[in-house]
Structure 1
């Protein structure tokens, strides 16, 4: 992929006035409606934006979704609900191999680990954060910031049905308070077979043409009944987008790094990405061998195998981009241009030390990164040295017990009163825990921990006690009782004294050995890396705002964003230059072998299908991981597709935008066709279509 230097700017053209018309992950309160009108002749009004915002949903596992009927029906991706399918599968029914369809309301089955969040409001709290941290640095800054964030969030969400998150934007340049409505009674309504949901498998991942029916349907319940979503749901278009038509994607892109400084990018290139590539390559290979052991092993390893393969392919794209001389030369040039402007503008005197602050923190990051990523773990991520659900449940129990003995403002952020409902839902998830897979994953991850920290590391010596990774993993998993939900509930309800008295081997090791070390690493990271990164990032952002105004889109943060683009082929993607594939193409693509094997239900219904209907399609909208399940909308806020992937070029979108990037989605008309004629989901189709007839 040829990289245009224009798209490498993190000042000037790229982030301030995007070099490409369709560039940007825009927050709903700063969406460039005038820019859209100039480019496409349509003005998204505040009413339009509010409707789309409150019809959009965030799901667990870095996915997105949306309401599509008055009775709480929700559309997302099949690959976002695999854990629920595993939970619902029984000895007689394997819902990874078979489709799931609830033909009556009573058959809609609970997914106990799933929570859907609906963004209600956004408010700026930057002033409060700056006031609380003014003049501070290091540990004092980190502690003051955490305490003020806790105060803000606690005052905002007094009940368990609400959630409030302070979101850091522009790498510390702005702080917004996002208030959510939380839905925790989520029931599965429909999911196709894994074979068609993931048709093409790893070979087709991040590519186009595609032929995947990566679609699933939930229903949200409240007080035992389907929730009334009549005020905010997205109507369904009976036809997908036309070639060149304006499209929008409303979803939750996870992480981008376009505002990183050169020194931060060098760390990404030299350390984080290389380690990630090695780690996920080895884990993917291990899981590939594991799934060959039996049909059960194949079934239980699918979610992890999908995750490892997806991350691996993404990392390869990141490395190819960030290692390119043109990319880093462009970043270095534009950073130096900004530094020069800051140094010669008297208005920007207070911001001149921004880069030295960040450079010093990067040096600290080089020493703390492996302990942090392996033992503590990035926010909302398991530590890579402990790939085990039981280990993570032990950590949650231990920390919940200890943190609840402290004043709310002094707790670890995820254990304050606002975060406890979500914590309980994760901890009391009744989904089956597969002992054999737990041992396999923990053995691998403990081996990587020992390898990266070194056999002479004091923590490693204390943890392993001369055992091998395999011996330690097997001992901890086989002798622990934490797979029993009642045991976890008793330990949680018993609080600090119950955890202190527990002799469960997993609790003992995580409590006495792992957690003290993890906490010390976290404290060092937050004070000496995270805090100065935010401090320097704030200065750079304020310099940019002073020079160019506020027309800048922030890096993605896993929060709701809106992108705009158009239905448009890349050219080389499809031989005939079309922006879509057809249902017929799926039958042509089939080889009779996994992963290009269509389910029997598709062959049975083939004669009934309109084979020339568009199946999958591409648009120029910006997406990254986290956008899976996002609605693809037209200017009438109607769903014209469901987003599930990007093309190969899009793997680099974490660091830059390219005009060759494409969003891949399932066409809206095709979804209704397949629901009706293959799965006989006539009531669901009727519900979706009748919702369209309501007054807009």
Structure 2
């Protein structure tokens, strides 16, 4: 992997004119954009951007691109839906999908779209509720107050989603109110071979030649939703040096973490994560060799594992860079020095860093039990996840809202039920393989003498346990899940389903380790991170952007190349380069529809491009728009240098990689004949006769 060099700004001073930051809508640096690019987004402009951009609750971004609920996102963000709708006879991942009529649009089994409609600052309310509290009291009170705020916001309406978002590591709390759409239907998806052209070797690289796009539509009351706040299509798409905005939902950054937290990631958690993902990739690769059906049903899981593995390698490499890490140490030392120099600030904040360091030391001791008993590494199975949810629902739902585990509070229940009762297929052979792997790693990591290992395995092997509980379970049937959920604790406790019995067996241990983590580690880090954030506010002000939290953000930048290994990388590739890049062998084999259409495609049409926008995982599917709110591209990746962006930003090499808007139009028109979609995006463009090489419908 190429060496990453990431330059971190000191805590107190972001680069004056760098395109850095994943900014909230209520703290966007409009003056900074004007100073560098001559355009100043006002609040009305930002509001239109916020309403046009949407979030996929499963972990991606998207946008409205027509007044009739048409949503654009990445193919890899919709892979779960595409795979779940596929069968052995009709593989939409391999062959693509196009609904020629509205009636042919197929409902995704478990997809939710969120549109942010309101932001409220509730920092004062939460700080007042937890004032002077620490430990368990702080943790319990904060959880209860957050549940109270979210419940009042949603007010029992399943079409509303309210998330209380922690910003600046607890320095601020904002309540985000969304419109929730849970009837989402697949409209168009190209073949996997072009959506992920180049596969893992090209992942996080540039130049790229991918058509990583999918269109879905949101419905309510069985009709397409009217969406007046949508992004129109640009006439020409992104051009070099053009100002661009990315509106999306970056998942997580760790730029404001303390050195103790970064050291834990670098030295403890990340090496273990890399090992686990590598071994899981090996297991899935072998599983795929069993046959074409095994390959089909596990392809989405393997895609996610390979993507996570490559991203984790890049992040770990950034933390191992001594020069980079030294800038993080210097930034913390500067802040602590300023705190210590002021008697009042020292009294309030000086001990926070040491308390976080103590909590991280505790986490080292809890890590294995937490990961393998509570967080799913040892019991990695969709069926077990369902069983665990049913067991805990029976215990949690009778409690007062504020006393429940957060995933079971009233505000979160619509999303929980959508996942729990999803009709998405579950494949026993894959379930057995995954659970066998997890139980094997559990025994390996915790040791054969660990009480939990003895409890779970008894005299059986991991494969025997996995085979017995998967084959004997009825939880693949949605009606069986519904009956247990409706019957509550009594029905769950009486169930003879072996997967439910396994979940009942391990739940006391899992709850105990979660409780210890929340009280001894999480609450300490939250409380003291809040103090560190307040110290930064007191010294540097509030003009900084918060770390990403998978909540709506805006970044600005421009279409711009960069230098790599002494060579200048041009910012835009062309569609002709796609065919030049092809070898005919996976993952560089183009689908037949593209091979047939090579001569009719305008080769100079822009294909992919890079820009200086600051993004991270979760931004996949974000629209790239110009100052007129017109779509000029679709984010689908970052370059290899961007992987260190979790911890810092270097504008000279950090790049967002996007599908060019003109490539999408060219493909829809000349390869797929997707007239209905094309007409929604760019009315009148269907007058040009398309080549009919469209994928399966």
Question: Does the 8 Å CA contact 2:575/2:607 hold for their aligned counterparts?
Answer: yes
The superposition leaves residues 450-472 of structure 1 with CA deviations (integer Å, 9 ceiling, x where unpaired) of 22222221111111113221121
Comparing 60-69 and 201-210, the one that deviates more: 60-69
The secondary structure found in structure 2 opposite 1:419 is helix
Q: CA deviation at 1:498?
A: 0.7
1:608 and 2:608 are equivalent in the alignment: no
Structural mapping, 1:22-101, within 5 Å = 22-101=19-98
Q: CA deviation at 1:376?
A: 1.9
Distance 2:366 2:323 in 1: 30
Residue equivalent to 1:221: 219
Residue equivalent to 1:299: 296
The secondary structure found in structure 2 opposite 1:470 is helix
- Indicate how the Cα distance of structure 1 residues 241 and 356 shifts in structure 2: closer, same or farther if over 3 A, else same: same
Q: CA deviation at 1:20?
A: 5.7
1:345 and 2:342 are equivalent in the alignment: yes
Which residues of structure 2 form unaligned runs of 5+? 686-697
Residue equivalent to 1:7: 8
Residue equivalent to 1:207: 205
Residue equivalent to 2:692: none
TM-score in terms of structure 1 length: 0.96
Residue equivalent to 2:449: 456
1:664 and 2:657 are equivalent in the alignment: yes
Question: Does the 8 Å CA contact 1:235/1:691 hold for their aligned counterparts?
Answer: no
Q: CA deviation at 1:198?
A: 0.9
Question: Does the 8 Å CA contact 1:351/1:540 hold for their aligned counterparts?
Answer: yes
Comparing 458-467 and 627-636, the one that deviates more: 458-467
Distance 2:396 2:6 in 1: 48
Distance 1:561 1:502 in 2: 45
Question: Does the 8 Å CA contact 1:605/1:677 hold for their aligned counterparts?
Answer: yes
Q: CA deviation at 1:527?
A: 1.2
The secondary structure found in structure 2 opposite 1:550 is coil
Structural mapping, 1:119-518, within 5 Å = 119-158=116-155, 159-230=157-228, 232-348=229-345, 349-377=347-375, 383-511=376-504, 513-518=505-510
Q: CA deviation at 1:148?
A: 0.3
The superposition leaves residues 300-345 of structure 1 with CA deviations (integer Å, 9 ceiling, x where unpaired) of 1111111110111011111111112222222222211211110111
The superposition leaves residues 259-318 of structure 1 with CA deviations (integer Å, 9 ceiling, x where unpaired) of 111111111011110000000000011111111110001111111111110111011111
The secondary structure found in structure 2 opposite 1:249 is strand
Distance 2:328 2:663 in 1: 43
Distance 2:4 2:499 in 1: 49
- Indicate how the Cα distance of structure 1 residues 595 and 5 shifts in structure 2: closer, same or farther if over 3 A, else same: closer
Q: CA deviation at 1:591?
A: 0.4
Residue equivalent to 1:543: 535
Residue equivalent to 1:522: 514
Aligned residues: 681
The superposition leaves residues 75-130 of structure 1 with CA deviations (integer Å, 9 ceiling, x where unpaired) of 00001111211222234311011120001010011002001011111111111111
Question: Does the 8 Å CA contact 1:209/1:574 hold for their aligned counterparts?
Answer: no
Question: Does the 8 Å CA contact 1:96/1:194 hold for their aligned counterparts?
Answer: yes
The secondary structure found in structure 1 opposite 2:383 is helix
The superposition leaves residues 131-169 of structure 1 with CA deviations (integer Å, 9 ceiling, x where unpaired) of 111111111110000000011000000111101111111
Q: CA deviation at 1:574?
A: 11
Distance 1:260 1:218 in 2: 37
- Indicate how the Cα distance of structure 1 residues 5 and 51 shifts in structure 2: closer, same or farther if over 3 A, else same: closer
1:686 and 2:672 are equivalent in the alignment: no
Residue equivalent to 2:691: none
Residue equivalent to 2:573: 581
The superposition leaves residues 173-218 of structure 1 with CA deviations (integer Å, 9 ceiling, x where unpaired) of 1111011110011000000011111110000000001111100000
The secondary structure found in structure 2 opposite 1:80 is coil
- Indicate how the Cα distance of structure 1 residues 60 and 156 shifts in structure 2: closer, same or farther if over 3 A, else same: closer
Comparing 86-95 and 76-85, the one that deviates more: 86-95
Q: CA deviation at 1:19?
A: 6.1
The superposition leaves residues 353-395 of structure 1 with CA deviations (integer Å, 9 ceiling, x where unpaired) of 1111111111111111222222222xxxxx2222210000001
Distance 1:621 1:366 in 2: 35
Distance 2:559 2:417 in 1: 42
Q: 1:639 aligns with which of 608, 619, 631?
A: 631
Distance 1:618 1:293 in 2: 39
Comparing 278-287 and 360-369, the one that deviates more: 360-369
Q: CA deviation at 1:347?
A: 3.7
- Indicate how the Cα distance of structure 1 residues 479 and 132 shifts in structure 2: closer, same or farther if over 3 A, else same: same
Residue equivalent to 2:694: none
Question: Does the 8 Å CA contact 2:432/2:467 hold for their aligned counterparts?
Answer: yes
- Indicate how the Cα distance of structure 1 residues 688 and 495 shifts in structure 2: closer, same or farther if over 3 A, else same: same
- Indicate how the Cα distance of structure 1 residues 465 and 71 shifts in structure 2: closer, same or farther if over 3 A, else same: same
Distance 1:245 1:91 in 2: 45
Distance 2:620 2:604 in 1: 25
Question: Does the 8 Å CA contact 1:5/1:330 hold for their aligned counterparts?
Answer: no
Question: Does the 8 Å CA contact 1:120/1:181 hold for their aligned counterparts?
Answer: yes
1:117 and 2:109 are equivalent in the alignment: no
Distance 1:43 1:318 in 2: 33
Question: Does the 8 Å CA contact 2:600/2:670 hold for their aligned counterparts?
Answer: yes
The superposition leaves residues 22-66 of structure 1 with CA deviations (integer Å, 9 ceiling, x where unpaired) of 111111110101100001000011011011111111113311000
CA RMSD after TM alignment: 1.6
